[in-house]
Amino acid sequence: MPPLERSALGAFYRDHLEHAVLPFWLQRADETRGGVFTCLDNVTGRRVSDDKFVWSQARWAWTMAHAARMAERGALSLPGSVLLAHARATADFLLRHAFLPDGSVAYLLEADGTKKEFMPGKGHDLSFFADGFVILALTGVSRATGDRSYLEHALASYDGLRARLAQGRVRSEPYPLPLGCRAHAWPMIMLNVSQELERALLAVGHPRSGELASDGLADMDAILTRFVRPDGLVQEVVCEGRGETLLTRHVTPGHAIESMWFVMEQAVRHGRTDAVATAAEVIERSFRAGWDPEHGGLFRYVVPGGPEPSGPADGPFERLIRDTWDTKIWWPHSEAIYACALGEAVTGSAALRELHHVVHDYAFATFPHPDPQVGEWIQIRDRQGRPLDKVVGLPVKDPYHLTRNLLLLVELLVEGVEVRTVAA
Protein backbone atom coordinates (compact mmCIF):
# COMPACT_ATOMS: atom_id res chain seq x y z
CA MET A 1 0.00 0.00 0.00
CA PRO A 2 1.20 3.58 -0.43
CA PRO A 3 3.16 4.98 2.52
CA LEU A 4 1.00 6.53 5.23
CA GLU A 5 1.84 9.90 6.69
CA ARG A 6 2.77 10.27 10.34
CA SER A 7 -0.71 11.06 11.71
CA ALA A 8 -2.35 8.25 9.71
CA LEU A 9 0.33 5.80 10.81
CA GLY A 10 -0.17 6.73 14.44
CA ALA A 11 -3.92 6.21 14.13
CA PHE A 12 -3.36 2.87 12.39
CA TYR A 13 -1.06 1.55 15.12
CA ARG A 14 -3.37 2.78 17.87
CA ASP A 15 -6.38 1.08 16.28
CA HIS A 16 -4.48 -2.19 15.87
CA LEU A 17 -3.32 -2.06 19.49
CA GLU A 18 -6.75 -1.27 20.90
CA HIS A 19 -8.80 -3.67 18.77
CA ALA A 20 -6.55 -6.57 17.73
CA VAL A 21 -3.79 -6.93 20.31
CA LEU A 22 -4.69 -5.76 23.81
CA PRO A 23 -8.14 -7.44 23.85
CA PHE A 24 -6.45 -10.78 23.11
CA TRP A 25 -4.22 -10.46 26.16
CA LEU A 26 -6.76 -8.92 28.51
CA GLN A 27 -8.94 -11.98 27.94
CA ARG A 28 -6.05 -14.17 29.14
CA ALA A 29 -5.21 -12.27 32.31
CA ASP A 30 -5.43 -14.22 35.55
CA GLU A 31 -8.10 -12.22 37.32
CA THR A 32 -7.78 -14.25 40.53
CA ARG A 33 -4.05 -14.42 41.27
CA GLY A 34 -2.49 -11.81 38.99
CA GLY A 35 -0.40 -12.26 35.90
CA VAL A 36 -1.33 -13.56 32.49
CA PHE A 37 -1.48 -16.97 30.82
CA THR A 38 1.03 -17.11 27.95
CA CYS A 39 1.47 -20.84 27.29
CA LEU A 40 -0.80 -20.67 24.27
CA ASP A 41 -1.12 -22.28 20.89
CA ASN A 42 0.48 -19.95 18.34
CA VAL A 43 -2.45 -20.10 15.91
CA THR A 44 -5.62 -20.63 17.93
CA GLY A 45 -4.63 -18.86 21.14
CA ARG A 46 -5.83 -21.89 23.11
CA ARG A 47 -4.20 -22.30 26.52
CA VAL A 48 -1.96 -25.38 26.63
CA SER A 49 -0.51 -24.91 30.13
CA ASP A 50 -1.14 -22.79 33.22
CA ASP A 51 2.58 -22.33 33.88
CA LYS A 52 3.80 -18.77 34.31
CA PHE A 53 7.28 -17.87 33.06
CA VAL A 54 8.53 -15.01 35.24
CA TRP A 55 10.14 -13.42 32.18
CA SER A 56 6.73 -13.08 30.49
CA GLN A 57 4.82 -12.13 33.66
CA ALA A 58 7.19 -9.23 34.26
CA ARG A 59 6.88 -8.09 30.67
CA TRP A 60 3.10 -8.11 31.06
CA ALA A 61 3.28 -5.98 34.20
CA TRP A 62 5.47 -3.38 32.47
CA THR A 63 3.21 -3.34 29.41
CA MET A 64 0.04 -2.86 31.44
CA ALA A 65 1.66 -0.12 33.51
CA HIS A 66 2.88 1.77 30.45
CA ALA A 67 -0.50 1.43 28.72
CA ALA A 68 -2.22 2.70 31.88
CA ARG A 69 -0.06 5.83 31.90
CA MET A 70 -0.87 6.45 28.25
CA ALA A 71 -4.58 5.98 28.88
CA GLU A 72 -4.39 8.49 31.72
CA ARG A 73 -2.88 11.02 29.28
CA GLY A 74 -5.62 10.30 26.72
CA ALA A 75 -3.23 8.67 24.25
CA LEU A 76 -5.26 5.44 24.40
CA SER A 77 -9.03 5.00 24.46
CA LEU A 78 -8.92 2.25 27.06
CA PRO A 79 -9.92 2.14 30.74
CA GLY A 80 -6.74 3.10 32.52
CA SER A 81 -8.01 1.80 35.84
CA VAL A 82 -8.39 -1.71 34.41
CA LEU A 83 -4.90 -1.67 32.90
CA LEU A 84 -3.43 -0.36 36.14
CA ALA A 85 -5.16 -3.07 38.16
CA HIS A 86 -3.58 -5.75 35.98
CA ALA A 87 -0.17 -4.10 36.30
CA ARG A 88 -0.33 -3.89 40.08
CA ALA A 89 -1.77 -7.40 40.51
CA THR A 90 1.01 -8.87 38.39
CA ALA A 91 3.74 -6.95 40.22
CA ASP A 92 2.33 -8.09 43.56
CA PHE A 93 2.20 -11.69 42.29
CA LEU A 94 5.89 -11.45 41.37
CA LEU A 95 6.84 -9.90 44.71
CA ARG A 96 5.03 -12.66 46.58
CA HIS A 97 6.29 -15.60 44.57
CA ALA A 98 9.18 -14.93 42.17
CA PHE A 99 12.01 -13.92 44.49
CA LEU A 100 14.55 -16.40 45.86
CA PRO A 101 16.39 -16.07 49.21
CA ASP A 102 19.48 -14.52 47.58
CA GLY A 103 17.42 -11.79 45.87
CA SER A 104 17.45 -13.34 42.40
CA VAL A 105 14.22 -14.50 40.78
CA ALA A 106 12.88 -17.86 39.71
CA TYR A 107 12.51 -18.65 36.02
CA LEU A 108 9.20 -20.51 36.14
CA LEU A 109 6.16 -20.59 38.42
CA GLU A 110 2.97 -22.59 38.50
CA ALA A 111 -0.30 -20.71 38.17
CA ASP A 112 -0.57 -20.18 41.92
CA GLY A 113 3.03 -18.99 42.22
CA THR A 114 4.65 -22.23 43.33
CA LYS A 115 8.21 -22.33 42.03
CA LYS A 116 8.82 -24.96 39.35
CA GLU A 117 12.05 -26.16 37.75
CA PHE A 118 12.06 -25.55 34.00
CA MET A 119 15.14 -27.75 33.62
CA PRO A 120 14.77 -30.48 36.25
CA GLY A 121 17.70 -30.61 38.61
CA LYS A 122 19.13 -27.24 37.58
CA GLY A 123 17.39 -25.06 40.14
CA HIS A 124 15.13 -22.03 39.87
CA ASP A 125 17.58 -19.19 39.12
CA LEU A 126 18.25 -19.98 35.47
CA SER A 127 18.47 -16.64 33.69
CA PHE A 128 19.41 -13.17 34.85
CA PHE A 129 17.26 -11.78 32.04
CA ALA A 130 14.23 -12.69 34.17
CA ASP A 131 15.67 -10.47 36.92
CA GLY A 132 16.04 -7.63 34.43
CA PHE A 133 12.43 -7.87 33.34
CA VAL A 134 11.19 -7.98 36.94
CA ILE A 135 13.10 -4.75 37.61
CA LEU A 136 11.44 -3.21 34.56
CA ALA A 137 8.05 -4.39 35.79
CA LEU A 138 8.44 -2.92 39.27
CA THR A 139 9.79 0.32 37.82
CA GLY A 140 6.87 0.64 35.42
CA VAL A 141 4.28 -0.10 38.09
CA SER A 142 5.84 2.46 40.41
CA ARG A 143 5.58 5.14 37.72
CA ALA A 144 1.98 4.23 36.94
CA THR A 145 0.75 4.00 40.54
CA GLY A 146 2.94 6.58 42.24
CA ASP A 147 3.78 3.94 44.87
CA ARG A 148 7.48 4.32 45.63
CA SER A 149 7.69 0.96 47.40
CA TYR A 150 7.79 -0.73 43.99
CA LEU A 151 10.64 1.56 42.98
CA GLU A 152 12.62 0.72 46.11
CA HIS A 153 12.12 -3.00 45.40
CA ALA A 154 13.33 -2.38 41.84
CA LEU A 155 16.45 -0.55 43.05
CA ALA A 156 17.32 -3.29 45.53
CA SER A 157 16.97 -5.93 42.82
CA TYR A 158 18.98 -3.78 40.41
CA ASP A 159 21.84 -3.43 42.90
CA GLY A 160 21.87 -7.17 43.47
CA LEU A 161 21.87 -7.92 39.76
CA ARG A 162 24.71 -5.46 39.06
CA ALA A 163 26.76 -7.10 41.81
CA ARG A 164 26.14 -10.58 40.46
CA LEU A 165 27.09 -9.49 36.95
CA ALA A 166 30.31 -7.90 38.21
CA GLN A 167 31.17 -11.10 40.05
CA GLY A 168 30.30 -13.34 37.10
CA ARG A 169 27.55 -15.07 39.10
CA VAL A 170 24.77 -15.06 36.51
CA ARG A 171 23.25 -17.76 34.35
CA SER A 172 21.66 -17.46 30.91
CA GLU A 173 19.86 -20.76 30.47
CA PRO A 174 18.44 -22.36 28.41
CA TYR A 175 21.10 -21.03 26.01
CA PRO A 176 24.24 -20.64 28.11
CA LEU A 177 27.51 -19.30 26.72
CA PRO A 178 30.85 -21.10 26.89
CA LEU A 179 33.39 -19.83 29.39
CA GLY A 180 35.20 -16.74 28.13
CA CYS A 181 32.27 -15.59 25.99
CA ARG A 182 30.09 -12.55 26.50
CA ALA A 183 26.84 -11.69 24.74
CA HIS A 184 25.72 -8.34 23.35
CA ALA A 185 22.41 -9.12 25.11
CA TRP A 186 24.05 -8.53 28.50
CA PRO A 187 24.78 -4.77 28.24
CA MET A 188 21.68 -4.45 26.07
CA ILE A 189 19.24 -5.60 28.77
CA MET A 190 21.08 -3.57 31.39
CA LEU A 191 20.88 -0.45 29.22
CA ASN A 192 17.12 -0.85 28.96
CA VAL A 193 16.80 -1.49 32.69
CA SER A 194 19.02 1.50 33.57
CA GLN A 195 17.26 3.94 31.28
CA GLU A 196 13.79 2.97 32.56
CA LEU A 197 14.95 3.26 36.17
CA GLU A 198 16.63 6.59 35.44
CA ARG A 199 13.42 8.07 34.10
CA ALA A 200 11.42 6.76 37.04
CA LEU A 201 13.94 8.20 39.52
CA LEU A 202 13.99 11.56 37.76
CA ALA A 203 10.20 11.74 37.86
CA VAL A 204 10.23 11.59 41.67
CA GLY A 205 13.43 13.55 42.24
CA HIS A 206 15.32 10.54 43.58
CA PRO A 207 19.02 11.25 44.37
CA ARG A 208 20.22 8.15 42.45
CA SER A 209 18.94 9.29 39.03
CA GLY A 210 22.38 10.58 37.97
CA GLU A 211 24.00 7.28 38.93
CA LEU A 212 21.52 5.37 36.78
CA ALA A 213 22.14 7.75 33.88
CA SER A 214 25.86 7.01 34.13
CA ASP A 215 25.19 3.27 34.26
CA GLY A 216 23.04 3.43 31.16
CA LEU A 217 25.59 5.46 29.23
CA ALA A 218 28.31 2.97 30.21
CA ASP A 219 26.14 0.11 28.93
CA MET A 220 25.50 2.04 25.72
CA ASP A 221 29.20 2.60 25.16
CA ALA A 222 29.95 -1.07 25.90
CA ILE A 223 27.57 -2.05 23.11
CA LEU A 224 29.02 0.44 20.65
CA THR A 225 32.68 -0.23 21.37
CA ARG A 226 32.73 -3.96 22.05
CA PHE A 227 29.96 -5.41 19.89
CA VAL A 228 29.45 -3.10 16.89
CA ARG A 229 31.81 -4.36 14.19
CA PRO A 230 33.65 -2.17 11.67
CA ASP A 231 31.08 -3.13 9.01
CA GLY A 232 28.27 -1.67 11.13
CA LEU A 233 26.78 -5.02 12.15
CA VAL A 234 26.49 -6.23 15.73
CA GLN A 235 28.49 -9.25 16.82
CA GLU A 236 26.11 -11.05 19.15
CA VAL A 237 28.75 -13.06 21.00
CA VAL A 238 32.40 -12.18 21.66
CA CYS A 239 34.66 -15.03 22.81
CA GLU A 240 38.17 -14.33 23.98
CA GLY A 241 40.85 -16.59 22.52
CA ARG A 242 38.49 -19.09 20.92
CA GLY A 243 38.81 -18.19 17.24
CA GLU A 244 35.89 -17.95 14.83
CA THR A 245 32.88 -20.17 15.44
CA LEU A 246 29.24 -20.10 14.45
CA LEU A 247 28.60 -18.44 17.80
CA THR A 248 30.92 -15.52 17.00
CA ARG A 249 30.13 -15.24 13.28
CA HIS A 250 26.35 -15.11 13.37
CA VAL A 251 24.31 -11.90 13.37
CA THR A 252 20.82 -11.46 14.82
CA PRO A 253 19.37 -8.57 12.78
CA GLY A 254 16.24 -8.00 14.85
CA HIS A 255 18.16 -8.00 18.11
CA ALA A 256 20.67 -5.49 16.78
CA ILE A 257 17.84 -3.25 15.57
CA GLU A 258 16.07 -3.43 18.94
CA SER A 259 19.32 -2.64 20.75
CA MET A 260 19.88 0.43 18.60
CA TRP A 261 16.61 2.07 19.52
CA PHE A 262 17.62 1.66 23.18
CA VAL A 263 20.91 3.32 22.25
CA MET A 264 19.22 6.05 20.25
CA GLU A 265 16.79 7.03 23.01
CA GLN A 266 19.61 7.10 25.57
CA ALA A 267 21.90 9.05 23.27
CA VAL A 268 19.31 11.72 22.39
CA ARG A 269 18.38 12.10 26.06
CA HIS A 270 22.00 12.79 26.99
CA GLY A 271 23.21 14.74 23.97
CA ARG A 272 25.39 12.01 22.45
CA THR A 273 25.02 12.83 18.77
CA ASP A 274 27.87 10.48 17.90
CA ALA A 275 25.96 7.51 19.26
CA VAL A 276 22.76 8.60 17.50
CA ALA A 277 24.55 8.51 14.15
CA THR A 278 26.09 5.11 14.86
CA ALA A 279 22.75 3.65 15.94
CA ALA A 280 21.04 4.87 12.78
CA GLU A 281 23.75 3.29 10.63
CA VAL A 282 23.56 -0.02 12.50
CA ILE A 283 19.78 -0.15 12.10
CA GLU A 284 20.07 0.32 8.34
CA ARG A 285 22.94 -2.14 7.88
CA SER A 286 21.34 -4.79 10.08
CA PHE A 287 18.08 -4.48 8.18
CA ARG A 288 19.74 -4.91 4.81
CA ALA A 289 21.93 -7.81 6.02
CA GLY A 290 18.93 -9.64 7.44
CA TRP A 291 16.30 -9.05 4.77
CA ASP A 292 15.24 -12.11 2.78
CA PRO A 293 15.54 -11.09 -0.90
CA GLU A 294 13.37 -13.99 -2.05
CA HIS A 295 10.39 -14.02 0.30
CA GLY A 296 10.74 -10.76 2.23
CA GLY A 297 10.98 -10.40 5.97
CA LEU A 298 13.91 -10.52 8.37
CA PHE A 299 15.74 -13.78 8.94
CA ARG A 300 16.15 -14.67 12.59
CA TYR A 301 19.88 -15.31 12.22
CA VAL A 302 22.33 -14.77 9.38
CA VAL A 303 26.03 -15.14 8.76
CA PRO A 304 27.09 -12.20 6.55
CA GLY A 305 27.80 -13.46 3.07
CA GLY A 306 25.61 -16.53 3.71
CA PRO A 307 22.98 -15.97 4.84
CA GLU A 308 22.58 -19.59 5.97
CA PRO A 309 24.65 -20.33 9.10
CA SER A 310 27.11 -23.15 8.62
CA GLY A 311 29.74 -24.91 10.69
CA PRO A 312 29.65 -27.15 13.76
CA ALA A 313 26.85 -26.54 16.24
CA ASP A 314 28.49 -27.61 19.50
CA GLY A 315 26.13 -26.11 22.07
CA PRO A 316 22.43 -25.30 22.57
CA PHE A 317 22.86 -21.69 21.40
CA GLU A 318 24.54 -22.79 18.16
CA ARG A 319 21.91 -25.48 17.59
CA LEU A 320 19.21 -22.84 18.00
CA ILE A 321 20.93 -20.74 15.33
CA ARG A 322 21.17 -23.64 12.91
CA ASP A 323 17.62 -24.88 13.55
CA THR A 324 15.72 -21.57 13.39
CA TRP A 325 17.83 -19.22 11.25
CA ASP A 326 15.29 -18.87 8.40
CA THR A 327 12.16 -18.49 10.53
CA LYS A 328 10.22 -15.26 10.27
CA ILE A 329 9.12 -14.39 13.76
CA TRP A 330 7.07 -11.49 14.96
CA TRP A 331 9.36 -9.66 17.34
CA PRO A 332 12.21 -8.58 14.98
CA HIS A 333 9.61 -7.09 12.66
CA SER A 334 7.78 -5.15 15.37
CA GLU A 335 11.13 -3.92 16.70
CA ALA A 336 12.18 -2.82 13.22
CA ILE A 337 8.93 -0.93 12.70
CA TYR A 338 9.55 1.14 15.81
CA ALA A 339 13.32 1.52 15.41
CA CYS A 340 13.04 2.78 11.84
CA ALA A 341 10.24 5.20 12.77
CA LEU A 342 12.25 6.52 15.71
CA GLY A 343 15.41 6.79 13.62
CA GLU A 344 13.62 8.75 10.92
CA ALA A 345 12.05 11.08 13.51
CA VAL A 346 15.38 11.73 15.24
CA THR A 347 17.71 11.96 12.22
CA GLY A 348 15.42 12.74 9.29
CA SER A 349 16.86 9.74 7.44
CA ALA A 350 15.00 9.05 4.20
CA ALA A 351 16.53 5.55 4.14
CA LEU A 352 15.06 4.67 7.53
CA ARG A 353 11.71 6.10 6.48
CA GLU A 354 11.71 3.82 3.46
CA LEU A 355 12.77 0.79 5.52
CA HIS A 356 9.97 1.53 7.97
CA HIS A 357 7.42 1.30 5.17
CA VAL A 358 9.02 -1.88 3.80
CA VAL A 359 8.89 -3.73 7.12
CA HIS A 360 5.45 -2.31 7.96
CA ASP A 361 4.00 -3.65 4.72
CA TYR A 362 5.60 -7.07 5.14
CA ALA A 363 4.62 -7.43 8.79
CA PHE A 364 1.00 -6.43 8.38
CA ALA A 365 0.63 -8.61 5.30
CA THR A 366 2.12 -11.60 7.14
CA PHE A 367 1.56 -11.73 10.90
CA PRO A 368 -1.90 -10.48 11.99
CA HIS A 369 -4.35 -13.30 12.69
CA PRO A 370 -6.84 -13.52 9.81
CA ASP A 371 -9.72 -14.12 12.22
CA PRO A 372 -10.55 -10.90 14.08
CA GLN A 373 -12.37 -12.99 16.69
CA VAL A 374 -8.97 -14.39 17.70
CA GLY A 375 -6.81 -11.33 17.15
CA GLU A 376 -3.12 -10.73 17.92
CA TRP A 377 -0.50 -12.10 15.51
CA ILE A 378 0.41 -15.62 14.52
CA GLN A 379 3.87 -14.95 15.86
CA ILE A 380 6.00 -17.77 14.44
CA ARG A 381 6.26 -18.30 10.67
CA ASP A 382 8.45 -20.25 8.28
CA ARG A 383 10.59 -18.63 5.63
CA GLN A 384 7.63 -18.30 3.26
CA GLY A 385 5.53 -16.66 5.99
CA ARG A 386 3.33 -19.68 6.75
CA PRO A 387 2.34 -20.45 10.37
CA LEU A 388 4.92 -22.71 11.98
CA ASP A 389 4.24 -25.07 14.89
CA LYS A 390 7.69 -24.78 16.44
CA VAL A 391 9.18 -23.43 19.65
CA VAL A 392 11.86 -20.85 18.81
CA GLY A 393 12.69 -19.69 22.33
CA LEU A 394 10.35 -20.21 25.25
CA PRO A 395 7.19 -22.32 24.82
CA VAL A 396 4.98 -19.25 25.10
CA LYS A 397 3.09 -16.75 22.99
CA ASP A 398 4.75 -13.59 24.19
CA PRO A 399 2.70 -10.52 25.21
CA TYR A 400 5.57 -8.05 25.01
CA HIS A 401 7.36 -7.02 21.82
CA LEU A 402 4.36 -6.30 19.62
CA THR A 403 2.37 -4.62 22.38
CA ARG A 404 5.33 -2.58 23.57
CA ASN A 405 6.27 -1.43 20.07
CA LEU A 406 2.71 -0.40 19.27
CA LEU A 407 2.57 1.60 22.51
CA LEU A 408 5.85 3.33 21.66
CA LEU A 409 4.74 3.99 18.08
CA VAL A 410 1.61 5.71 19.33
CA GLU A 411 3.70 7.83 21.67
CA LEU A 412 6.16 8.70 18.92
CA LEU A 413 3.70 9.39 16.12
CA VAL A 414 0.73 10.81 18.04
CA GLU A 415 2.30 12.49 21.06
CA GLY A 416 5.68 13.39 19.55
CA VAL A 417 9.30 12.29 19.65
CA GLU A 418 9.95 14.22 22.87
CA VAL A 419 7.80 11.74 24.81
CA ARG A 420 10.39 9.09 24.00
CA THR A 421 13.56 11.15 24.31
CA VAL A 422 13.15 13.73 27.08
CA ALA A 423 14.82 13.08 30.41
CA ALA A 424 11.73 11.99 32.35
Q: Does residue 312 have a cis bond before it (omega within 30 degrees)?
A: no
Give the span between the Cα atoms of 396 and 193, in whole angstroms: 23
Q: Is residue 360 part of a domain?
A: yes
Q: Is residue 293 part of a domain?
A: yes
> Could you say which residues of the chain have pLDDT below 70?
1-4, 423-424
List of residues 6+ apart from 313 with CB closer than 8 A: 246, 319, 321, 322
Q: Is residue 340 part of a domain?
A: yes
Give the span between the Cα atoms of 129 and 101, in whole angstroms: 18
Q: Is residue 377 part of a domain?
A: yes
Give the span between the Cα atoms of 417 and 402, in whole angstroms: 19
What's residue 424's pLDDT? 66
Split into its structural domains, the chain has a count of 1
Q: Is residue 211 part of a domain?
A: yes
The enclosing H or E element of 147 equals: none
Q: Is residue 209 part of a domain?
A: yes
- CATH (domain of 335): 1.50.10.10
Residues in the chain, total: 424
* Residue-number span of the structural domain to which 274 is assigned: 180-393
Question: Phi, psi (5° rounding) for residue 253?
Answer: -55, -45
Q: Is residue 129 part of a domain?
A: no
Q: Is residue 150 part of a domain?
A: no
List of residues 6+ apart from 120 with CB closer than 8 A: none
Helix (H, G, I), strand (E, B) or coil at 251: strand
pLDDT (tens digit per residue) in 370-415: 999 999 999 999 999 999 887 777 788 999 999 999 999 999 999 9
Distances (CA, A) of 156 to 12, 102, 134, 187, 424: 40, 12, 12, 19, 21
